[in-house]
Structure 1
Amino acid sequence: MLCFRCFRSNTEKVEGEEKRREVSASPAAASVPSTISTGERSNLTFSTASSAVGTSVSEGSSAVVRPASGSVSSARSIPEQYEERGANSLRRFGFRELRAATSDFSRLLKLGEGGFGSVYKGVVRLPGGPAVGTVVAIKKLNPNGHQGHKQWLAEVHFLGVVEHPNLVKLIGYCADQSKRGPQRLLVYEFMANKTLDDHLFNKAYPVLPWDIRLEVALGAAEGLLYLHEGLEVQVIYRDFKASNILLDEEFRAKLSDFGLAREGPSAGHTHVSTAVMGTLGYAAPDYVETGHLTTKSDVWSFGVVLYEILTGRRSMDRKRPKNEQKLLEWVRLYPAESKQFSKIIDTRLEGHYSKQGTRKIAKLANSCLAKHRRDRPAMREVVESLKQVMQHKELDADGGASAESSPPNEVSRKPTTEDVAVASARRRMLHLAALGENANSIARRRFMLMRAAAAPTLS
């Protein structure tokens, strides 16, 4: 993850207001204070760190941004909603229980690592769950990392309130005190297929088929739409990127990591003024320049990920030639209307995609990446556009589908809905099988390395 320090801004006043408005009465914060000294946030930083959950404040404006559901005047903040229902929906785990669930946080069970800390695979006993236990993902806060208790608390609050098929489910948390100091952990549902980032950019994974890429994009878009319009208050995700899109056993997309999430602007305001935080290559330029955060900031990030899905390239890649390192600059050389457009499509797809569908995705991405936020579509429009593209997710002749796939004397016919579903299921099963073989080979290599390390050396 790329991080850097940038210019100072006059956001200290806003941050001080956030700090005063924090809610610390929840069970998740019972053992430690829910505030952090403002000295820790004196500079604007691109990182995975987050600001507090609090009532949003912005500069005055004549326009009004309102959530799609609920009245602005009666809308309750996320911490208030958490106190009412979220606090009772999450289970509080003991540190010993989670340490046992992960075999004392064994490196063999480590799933990944980020600014928050490390994520481990574990098994816990849940009420009503199987007797053998439930497989979960356990994220352990690194006390020396960039993110702290405030970000941990933000994620507890948000995930304790939101509920949607395309948002990861938080099962519970740990807020214990041990000999080594405060222990902050989060327990999530386990996502068998890791992240979209893994499948797009890690060559050890099988190629993600075109139709599944579209389904992942649509699922992620519906998750953002729910955050923007489906709650009492508007929620801005603020860290939309491929590594935060988790994939379950059916490759259903679920947004994760809500440490950066913020409530949207209050009545009478068009944006939230905040310290600039996010991930390099995904943050909207207007947000970076002004610190003005809106839902259109998420829309910009979504456009970046759409191009990553099309190209199989990261938004920033220093390993590529200089003129190809910045994805958005490179793809502009091959507009969707040009004859050379196909040059940007992920070569690993080997032509197995809809040419018409890829052009529509590129045009949608371009609209999301409009310079002025007012020109970008709302996520509702993005979802509708993706649903239209889904009609072209089957392979077409222009996309490079081989003519040899059908007997020479067979009369060509338009694939039925059942044909498309069967083909999609077959590709998905092949992808899962290849993924399983890859995971097994990695496990075998780890075992052999541990065995060799444990073997006695001869003098």
Structure 2
Amino acid sequence: MSAMPVCQCLAKFKPKSVEAWNTMDWSQGCVRNKELECQKGDGFIKLDGLKVPDATDSWVNKTMNLKECRAKCLQNCSCMAYTNLDIRGRGSGCAIWFGDLIDIRQVPIGGQTLYVRLHASEIEAKAKPKIRIAVITTVTIAVVLGMLMAIYYVRKSKAKRAERMEKCLQNDHENDKGKKEDLELPLFEFTAIANATSNFSINNKLGEGGYGPVYKGKLVDGQEIAVKRLSRSSRQGLNEFKNEMILLNKLQHRNLVKLLGCCIERDEKMLIYEYMPNGSLDSFIFNGTKGKMLDWSRHFNIISGIARGLLYLHQDSRLRIIHRDLKSSNVLLDDHMNPKISDFGLARMFLADQTEGDTSRVVGT
């Protein structure tokens, strides 16, 4: 004797009586997970591969298409399902079922598509994964496009930066020997430096040399800076500017002033350094009042710091540098009175095995 077939509920349906279902009593059938609300709007779920319901309480129209069939079913709150009259799926004719859907089952071959009425929220629940996939796809595409645009603008910015650097360094000078330098030096915007120095206010001016004036400034993040602004009329200053930019970009030591970046914009050429609040050493040595602040331990600390900086330049750095303009005005003091050698405009770079060199002009101190 063959086993009794096992009944199953359609998607979005559940047993009317779970207790009866568990005892294999399927006579009460299945009900929707959520009751219909015809006045507020229902929808339809598409189920494939089915034997259509018993035709006892049905209605057919041979001239309607599937879209018209759906509209017809929606107009009648007792309409529970619809499909094509033509079971070959060519879209012709309309078949509508009213009341309970009796004798529906999944068939392996020759099944038909049936559109079953459900509460609108059940339809939305089914649509959510598709919406989620669409949203994820859209966001992913947007992120990828954003990354590509960011890469494009970074490369474009680097190319512009390289062009500006090359333009600044296009003339050969004593240290570069005609070579192009690969400077990974931060570039500051002119407006940022102008704002930091109150538009290069005379009140922020720290001093002036052969290259041009130096100003104190404060960036938007609160960092204090010193801005060396090249005078447009200074030809010698241009060579010193290039020399200092190339050398300080490659040198890092606690007793050398730190170059934070440069600004090459609007025919302006500026070097931006860390700010030294105590100024230069000569302002203490040649000032009777301030000179009293330099006791022997501070004198010794300053001398030792300068010596460490020179040892680094002459021997320990990957470049061999001769400063050529070391004097008290070119030794700056930080807030703890630690010395830092500055002003490398006249410095010379030696080869690893070079012990002497020639110069075409008299320079330095």
Using structure 1 for the length normalisation, give the TM-score.
Answer: 0.42
Q: Give matches, 1:13-412, under 5 Å.
A: 29-32=165-168, 34-35=170-171, 52-55=174-177, 83=182, 87-88=183-184, 90-125=185-220, 131=221, 133-145=222-234, 147-177=236-266, 182-203=267-288, 205-207=290-292, 208-265=294-351, 267=353, 269-279=354-364, 282=365
Q: Give matches, 1:434-449, under 5 Å.
A: none
Larger relative contact order (CA 8 Å, sep ≥ 6): 1
CA–CA distance in structure 2, aligned partners of residues 27 and 218 of structure 1:
41
Tell me the CA shift for residue 55 of structure 1: 5.0
Tell me the CA shift for residue 94 of structure 1: 1.6
CA distance 1:124–1:52, change in 2 (3 Å):
farther
For these two proteins, the number of residue pairs brought into alignment is 204
CA–CA distance in structure 1, aligned partners of residues 303 and 363 of structure 2:
20
Contact 1:175–1:185, Cα closer than 8 Å, also in 2: yes
CA distance 1:154–1:26, change in 2 (3 Å):
farther
Contact 2:259–2:273, Cα closer than 8 Å, also in 1: yes
Matching residue of 1:60: none
CA–CA distance in structure 2, aligned partners of residues 254 and 161 of structure 1:
16
CA–CA distance in structure 1, aligned partners of residues 271 and 203 of structure 2:
19
CA–CA distance in structure 1, aligned partners of residues 313 and 247 of structure 2:
10
CA–CA distance in structure 1, aligned partners of residues 169 and 235 of structure 2:
18
CA distance 1:100–1:238, change in 2 (3 Å):
same
CA–CA distance in structure 2, aligned partners of residues 28 and 158 of structure 1:
18
CA–CA distance in structure 1, aligned partners of residues 363 and 325 of structure 2:
6
Contact 1:265–1:272, Cα closer than 8 Å, also in 2: no
Return the letter of the residue paired with 1:114.
Answer: G
CA shift digits 1:109-166 (9 cap, x unpaired): 11111111111110114xxxxx4x2111111011223533222111111111100000
Matching residue of 1:327: none
SS across alignment from 2:290:
coil
CA distance 1:101–1:234, change in 2 (3 Å):
same
CA–CA distance in structure 1, aligned partners of residues 217 and 338 of structure 2:
21
Tell me the CA shift for residue 26 of structure 1: 5.3
Q: Give matches, 1:401-440, under 5 Å.
A: none
Q: What is the root-mean-square deviation in Å for CA atoms of aligned residues?
A: 2.4
Tell me the CA shift for residue 277 of structure 1: 3.6
Larger Rg: 2
Contact 2:210–2:237, Cα closer than 8 Å, also in 1: no
CA–CA distance in structure 2, aligned partners of residues 210 and 266 of structure 1:
37
CA distance 1:260–1:94, change in 2 (3 Å):
same
CA–CA distance in structure 2, aligned partners of residues 240 and 28 of structure 1:
31
CA–CA distance in structure 1, aligned partners of residues 290 and 313 of structure 2:
30
Contact 1:34–1:153, Cα closer than 8 Å, also in 2: no
Using structure 2 for the length normalisation, give the TM-score.
Answer: 0.52
Return the letter of the residue paired with 1:243.
Answer: S
CA–CA distance in structure 2, aligned partners of residues 243 and 26 of structure 1:
33
CA–CA distance in structure 1, aligned partners of residues 246 and 163 of structure 2:
10
SS across alignment from 1:93:
coil
**Between structures 1 and 2, the one with greater strand share:** 2
CA distance 1:216–1:26, change in 2 (3 Å):
farther
Identity %: 36
Contact 1:117–1:139, Cα closer than 8 Å, also in 2: yes
Tell me the CA shift for residue 30 of structure 1: 3.2
CA–CA distance in structure 2, aligned partners of residues 146 and 113 of structure 1:
15
Tell me the CA shift for residue 242 of structure 1: 0.6
Unmatched 5+ residue regions in structure 1? 1-24, 37-50, 57-78, 126-130, 283-459
CA distance 1:159–1:27, change in 2 (3 Å):
farther
CA–CA distance in structure 1, aligned partners of residues 315 and 191 of structure 2:
39
CA–CA distance in structure 2, aligned partners of residues 34 and 159 of structure 1:
18
CA distance 1:176–1:205, change in 2 (3 Å):
same
Tell me the CA shift for residue 27 of structure 1: 5.9
Contact 1:137–1:189, Cα closer than 8 Å, also in 2: yes
Tell me the CA shift for residue 265 of structure 1: 4.6
CA–CA distance in structure 2, aligned partners of residues 240 and 274 of structure 1:
17
CA–CA distance in structure 2, aligned partners of residues 106 and 277 of structure 1:
34
CA shift digits 1:295-315 (9 cap, x unpaired): xxxxxxxxxxxxxxxxxxxxx
Contact 1:91–1:171, Cα closer than 8 Å, also in 2: yes
Tell me the CA shift for residue 107 of structure 1: 0.8
CA–CA distance in structure 2, aligned partners of residues 124 and 27 of structure 1:
26
